[in-house]
Structure 1
Amino acid sequence: MRVSRLFLAQPLREGDRIHLDPDQSHYLRDVLRLKRGQGLTVFNGEGDEYAATVADLGRAGIALAIGERRIRDAESPLVTHLGLGIARGERMDLAIQKAVELGVTRITPLVTEHSVVRLDRARQEQRRLHWQKIAASACEQCGRNRVPPVEEPTALERWLPGRAGLRLFFDPHGAVGLGDLPRPTAGVCLLAGPEGGFAQRERVLARDAGFVAVRLGPRILRAETAVLAALAALQTLWGDWR
């Protein structure tokens, strides 16, 4: 039987007794349907995980007894920073969820010329917290113990300068494919556009910032599909799928 995993954004130590908040208690009791005495795995994003047991289950909530600390690394050796043009609702959620499952290291949501979604400052932080929660949930599912940070949404023009590593952006008219590129020595920085793609001005800015336009085959891929296809290909070429 598969052991359930739960992300807890707090310090964890062997022997601790943790009282869960109402949302976490609801998830364990009503979604996972765990009972008193059942085991699960908990982690806090710092790299390790802990065995845990449901010690108390009542109307006041659920308490967990924290057990043995386990060292287990599920991170890819390939460092990948994803600059992701903000897309609508479920498309953005899906891209972030699957990027985390595919081993992405860091995600920056980007405001681009063709972004359909426009967020004021208050909503930007609200959405960032939502996307960060999706990243944590993806780690619960896929077995990662380090949760990739989802950074504050940033304008593309502000994000482009100073990026490190092999810098790539997706362009159906790109002159090269991923297999034509040299093995990166300092990670990969990926730039993916929103539903409408990049404006010509943004393509020029990306090239001026050292980004190489790469094609992902002869077909036009949706924004979220391009992200997943590229990350899977990178893991095959240079990551932990080799």
Structure 2
Amino acid sequence: MRRLILNEYPGPSGSLSLGSKEYRYLVRVLRLQIGEQFRALLPNGKEALFTITAIGKSGLEVALVKDIGPLPESAIADEERRATLPPLPPIILCQALPKGQKMDLIVRQAAEAGVSHIIPFISQHSVPRLDKSTAQQKLERWNRIIKEARQQSGSDVTTRIEPITDMKGLLEFWEQQKKITPNSQAILLHQDPLAQGTLHGYLEGNIQSVHIAVGPEGGFSDEEAAQCIEHGFKPLLLGVNVLRTETAAIFATAAVQVLLLEKASWILSNNSIV
């Protein structure tokens, strides 16, 4: 269900002034009018209901609804559907920077899919070489894309993107995560069949988080692949076709999600795989 994501709380009276970005989303995209209500996520992650009280040329005034009242049928159906799904462990997408604007698409798709963390990093085959100023601008843009994607998709997952790092930083992040969640799994997408392991096999057991490492155009170098494997990443070849990096990212994320959601149906009592 679509929900506006707010960066600030309403005042003591419950009123809140929203700017051009929120105006564009509520008025231009959702086509809401004065007196209509919408749901929003507060900075603490809690959901609230607001009413539009005034619409200007590029902004609007809203008021917190004290008595939310019954949920609409669409919202009830959405909550009932979510209640039937098993809880998913966090999925962390480790994405080597691709050329051009491809990272924007990857970030948007990952946020819509409910990825928990995105770790952008520069690998040996990455073409972009960013200075600090450009890297910060990219990070701010990606955070805006994440917010828009979560609003559009209604994702309950607070997708976070880390500052751009390198392979060393990525491996340090993974080692730290293993200390926090020892039953985590890391998967290295590689264009060559480096191992015979399957995605089903890698996701067996009580998985606490799943890290998916995707290379740039040209994939990972042999040296990088060896480094990742040494740190516990499991190499995986998805199908027989060589996928574009932006395709591989969402393809692998979707595959992991589906397998985790349907885990109970493909693991038998003797732990064999159907």
Same fold at TM > 0.5: yes
% identity of equivalent residues:
28
How far did residue 84 of structure 1 move? 0.8
The answer to whether 1:219 aligns with 2:241 is: yes
- How far did 1:156 drift? 1.4
Residues in 2 aligned to 1:178 and 1:170: alpha-carbon distance in whole angstroms:
11
Letter in 2 for 1:42: A
More helix by share: 2
Q: Are 2:115 and 2:157, in contact at CA under 8 Å, matched by a contact in 1?
A: no
Q: How many residues align?
A: 240
Q: How does 1:21-36 map to 2 (within 5 A)?
A: 21-36=19-34
| Correspondence for 1:122 | 133
RMSD of the alignment, in Å?
2.7
Note if 1:143 corresponds to 2:154: yes
| SS class of match (2:40) | strand
Shift of 1:214: 0.7
Pairing 1:37-76 to 2, within 5 Å after superposition = 37-44=35-42, 46-59=44-57, 61-67=59-65, 68=68
Report which stretch shifted further, 178-187 or 229-238: 178-187
Aligned letter for 1:177? T
Show the counterpart of 2:200.
179
Aligned-partner Cα distance in 2 for 1:157–1:98: 26
| Equivalence map 1:85-96=2 (5 Å) | 85-96=96-107
The question of whether the paired residues in 2 share the 8 Å contact of 1:183 and 1:238 is answered with: no
Higher CA-based Rg = 2
Determine if contact 1:51/1:66 at 8 Å carries over to the other structure. Answer: yes
Note the alpha carbon deviations across 1:22-61, whole angstroms, 9 max, x for none: 3322443344432211222211364322221111112472
Residue number in structure 2 paired with 1:112: 123
Q: Distance in 1 between matches of 2:14 and 2:224?
A: 51
- Quote the offset at 1:171 in angstroms: 0.8
Greater per-residue strand proportion: 1
In structure 2, distance between residues paired with 1:185 and 1:87: 29
- SS of the residue corresponding to residue 54 of structure 1 reads strand
Unaligned runs of 5+ in 1: none
How far is 1:95 from its partner?
Answer: 1.2
1:224-235 residue pairs with structure 2 within 5 A? 224-235=246-257
One-letter code of the match for 2:158? V
**Whole-Å Cα distance in 1 between the matches of residues 2 and 114 of structure 2?**
20
Q: How far 1:122 moved relative to its partner?
A: 0.9
Partner Cα separation in structure 2 for residue 66 and residue 26 of structure 1:
20
Q: Which moved more, 1:123-132 or 1:89-98?
A: 89-98
- Distance apart, 1:13 and its partner CA: 8.3
Instruction: Give unpaired runs (5+ residues) of structure 2.
Output: 179-183, 265-274
